[in-house]
Amino acid sequence: MFDAGYSAVTPVTLLKPTVVAFTQVGLEHDVSLALAGWWENFAATKPTLFNGPLVACNSCEFDHDGAATVAWYATSYAHYLQRWAPAPVMEPARALFCSVAMLSRTGELVIGQMSETTSSPLRLQLPGGNITLPGPAGLSLAHCIVNSVEEVKEEVGLLLDESTLRFWRVKTGGAHDDIGIMFLCQLALSNAEILDIFERHKEVLRSVGEIPELDRLLFVQPDSLSLDAFNCVDYLPAVALALAAERG
């Protein structure tokens, strides 16, 4: 049964399932029609907005053996945007995203700060983004890894080897109960080398008229990360605590 809504805010939890399975569910035709009509009016004065396809989470369940089953459906960016719409027509979609916790050679966590022109200006987060629509093979961890590599390349300029990404956690809870597929990656690069790649990447983007999604990078030891004075995604404090605990 389709259930795109979510209830009250719950604490962010980072779970480590033994296996993650994905299953696709449908989206009612009247939901698509309502979103299309809303978008036509909403975007009439916003020609730069693009209503592309989006993978959203219908439910995320964990069994007694520790296996996770994520039910997903294909929808549109307009459905996700309902959470900020001044006149929403329905419950917004729960995002299904991927993120990469990258550690530099000396163990610092690589954190990005969003550009002021994005929908979340100056927000701190890990490199990553909403999972793209999969092909005929359907959604899988392998697709999420490919997606994560693409996101890191687009945002940071780093081209990661897919084999270096290790499935790490599933994020649940938070303000919108979005579901995150999180990977861990140990880099052989120093902070300075990563920063140099990032700054050159931004220059290339600006040379072709594109605005970088990330404005700057921060390198922080997980056990010393203090986010009280920052605007950050809801999962970031939990990620820092989990990484610090793993180091003992």
Position of tokens 């995150």?
Answer: 180
Lookup: tokens for 240: 């820092």
DSSP code at position 173: E
Average pLDDT over residues 188-207: 97
- Rounded to an integer, what distance in angstroms lies between the CA atom of residue 203 and that of residue 212? 9
Positive or negative, the CA dihedral 82, 20, 105, 248 is: positive
**Per mean pLDDT, which range of 69-83, 90-104, 115-129 is the poorest?**
115-129
Q: How many CA atoms lie within 13 A of 112 on its CB side?
A: 31
**What average pLDDT score do residues 15-19 get?**
94
Q: What is the pLDDT of residue 206?
A: 95
Instruction: Answer with the residue of higher pLDDT: 191 or 120.
Output: 191
Q: What is the mean pLDDT of residues 237-248?
A: 91
Residue 150 has pLDDT above 90, yes or no: yes
Q: Judge whether 40 and 120 are in contact, CB under 8 Å.
A: no
Distance of CA 44 to the CA centre of its chain: 28
What's the pLDDT at 9? 64
Which residue segments constitute the domains of the chain, with CATH numbers given? 11-247 (3.90.79.10)
Identify the pLDDT of residue 48.
Answer: 72
What integer pLDDT is reported at residue 2 of this predicted model? 35
pLDDT at 212 over 80: yes
Number of other residues whose CB lies within 10 A of the CB of residue 122: 14
% helix / strand / coil in the chain, to the nearest 5? 30, 30, 40
Q: Which of 168, 167, 171, 151 is nearest to 159 (CA)?
A: 151
How far apart are alpha carbons 187 and 166 in whole angstroms?
A: 12
Residue bearing the bigger pLDDT, 31 or 195: 195
Task: Give the lowest-confidence range in 84-88, 94-98, 123-127.
Answer: 84-88
Q: Give kind and range of the element (H or E) at residue 203.
A: helix 191-207
Tokens for 77, please give them: 């960016």
Average pLDDT rounded to a whole number, residues 172-177: 91
How far apart CA 241 and CA 100 sit, in angstroms, is 15
The answer to pTM > 0.85 is: yes
Note the pLDDT of residue 3. 41
Task: Determine the pLDDT at residue 229.
Answer: 60
Structure tokens at 207: 């040379």
